[in-house]
């Protein structure tokens, strides 16, 4: 069984989402020691933003030589995702949504003909059968009862993206209120780490 672990926080060891995504992977590894784990750090090894040359290359046009390493990374990223049975993602909220590093990864994974297609009945996800677990960390609170609910474009966006490509096994472990104060941060992190240890086995 293959697990793909992705982090996207720029805060290194101070990151909440990195601590929680690591705890999720630890929990799944303990339950299934034979797990084959691939790790991708999107801030250590960022993917470029899509360009016209990327799209032309995808249509079979010759690509500029300087794009070759990034096109190779693109293929690697897509294959890692397609090969994975379980995907664990650390996703902090930056300016109300995912970090641009994670968006660049999504741009390499949502590929027509690979992870979705348009048929007579509209869009159809092709990536079903995977389990996706997302550790999200937010500075504030965005629950439905709060005045900030309409500004939540992290979890809602990821739910849409993974639903679009056919993922039905989608779990979120949130750590909220991280910037409200040290007590909030400590409590949110402890709760998220506890939730990670209680996950069902891979
Ligand atoms: C550049 C930046 C933008 C942020 N934007 C928001 C935001 O829009 N809303 C929010 O609630 N918190 C925001 N925060 C706070 C983070 O969501 C919070 O610190 C979270 O723990 C970040 O996850 P990380 O610790 O894994 O990096 C922002 C933090 C940074 C560094």
Which residue puts its alpha carbon closest to atom 1 of ligand 1? 94
CA 170-174-175 angle, to 5 degrees, is 160
What is the atom index within ligand 1 of the atom nearest the CA of 141? 11
Q: Cα–Cα distances in Å, from 146 out to 149, 151, 181?
A: 6, 10, 18
Radius of gyration of the chain (CA): 17
- Closest residue by CA, ligand 1 atom 30: 94
The answer to whether residues 133 and 95 touch, using CB atoms and an 8 Å cutoff, is: no
For residue 144, what pLDDT is reported? 94
> End-to-end alpha-carbon separation of the chain, Å?
8
Pocket flag, ligand 1, residue 179 (CB < 6 Å):
yes
69-92: per-residue pLDDT in tens? 999 999 999 999 999 999 999 999
Q: How confident is the model at residue 187 (pLDDT cuts 50, 70, 90)?
A: very high
Centre a 10 Å sphere on the Cβ of residue 24 and count the other Cβ atoms it contains. 27
Domains in the chain, CATH or no CATH each? 2-50+66-197 (3.40.50.360)
Q: Ligand 1 centre from 139 Cα, in Å?
A: 5
Q: Which residue in this structure is represented by tokens 């750590």?
A: 175
Q: Cβ(18) to ligand 1 under 6 A?
A: yes
Give the closest residue to 101 by CA, choosing from 193, 9, 1: 9
Whether 15 lines ligand 1, by a CB cut-off of 6 Å, is yes
**pLDDT average, residue stretch 27-35:** 96
The 10s digit of each residue's pLDDT in 32-44 is 999 999 999 999 9
What is the number of other CB atoms lying within 10 angstroms of the CB of residue 12? Answer: 11
Residue 160 CB neighbours (<10 A): 10
Give pLDDT, residue 83: 98
Residue 66 CA: distances (Å) to CA of 16, 25, 46, 62, 160 = 35, 35, 16, 12, 33
Residue range 113-123: mean pLDDT, rounded: 94
Name the β-bridge partners of 89. Answer: 6, 134
- pLDDT at site 201: 87
User: Which atom, in ligand 1's list, is nearest to the CA of 148?
Assistant: 11
Ligand 1: nearest atom to the Cα of 17? 26
Q: What is the mean pLDDT of residues 48-58?
A: 91
Q: 133-149, pLDDT tens digit by residue?
A: 999 999 999 999 999 99
Ligand 1 close to Cβ of residue 93 (< 6 A): yes
Query: CA 161, CA 163: separation in Å to the nearest integer?
Result: 5
What value, to the nearest 5°, has the Cα angle with vertex 160 and ends 67 and 105? Answer: 20
Question: How buried is residue 34: exposed, middle or buried, by Cβ count under 10 Å (0-12/13-18/19+)?
Answer: exposed
99 alpha carbon – ligand 1 mean position (Å): 9
Q: How far is the CA of 201 from the centre of ligand 1 (A)?
A: 29
Binned at pLDDT 50, 70 and 90, residue 202 comes out as confident
Q: Taking Cα atoms as reference points, which of 160, 192, 194 lies closest to residue 174? A: 192
Mean pLDDT, to the nearest integer, of 179-200? 97
């Amino acid at each position: 069984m293959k697990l793909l672990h992705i982090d996207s926080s720029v805060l290194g060891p101070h990151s909440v989402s990195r601590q929680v995504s690591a705890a999720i992977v630890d929990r799944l590894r303990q339950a299934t020691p034979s797990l084959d784990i691939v790790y991708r750090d999107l801030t250590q090894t960022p993917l470029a933003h899509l360009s016209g040359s990327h799209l032309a290359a995808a249509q079979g046009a010759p690509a500029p030589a300087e794009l070759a390493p990034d096109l190779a990374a693109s293929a690697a990223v897509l294959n890692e995702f397609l090969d994975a049975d379980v995907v664990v993602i650390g996703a902090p909220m930056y300016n109300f949504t995912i970090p641009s590093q994670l968006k660049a990864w999504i741009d390499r994974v949502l590929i027509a003909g690979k992870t979705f297609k348009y048929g007579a009945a509209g869009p159809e996800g092709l990536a079903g059968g995977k389990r996706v677990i997302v550790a999200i960390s937010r500075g504030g609170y965005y629950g439905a009862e709060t005045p900030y609910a309409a500004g939540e474009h992290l979890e809602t966006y990821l739910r849409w993206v993974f639903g679009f490509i056919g993922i039905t096994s989608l779990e979120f472990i949130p750590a909220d209120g991280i910037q409200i104060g040290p007590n909030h941060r400590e409590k949110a992190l402890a709760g998220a780490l506890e939730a990670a240890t209680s996950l069902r086995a891979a």
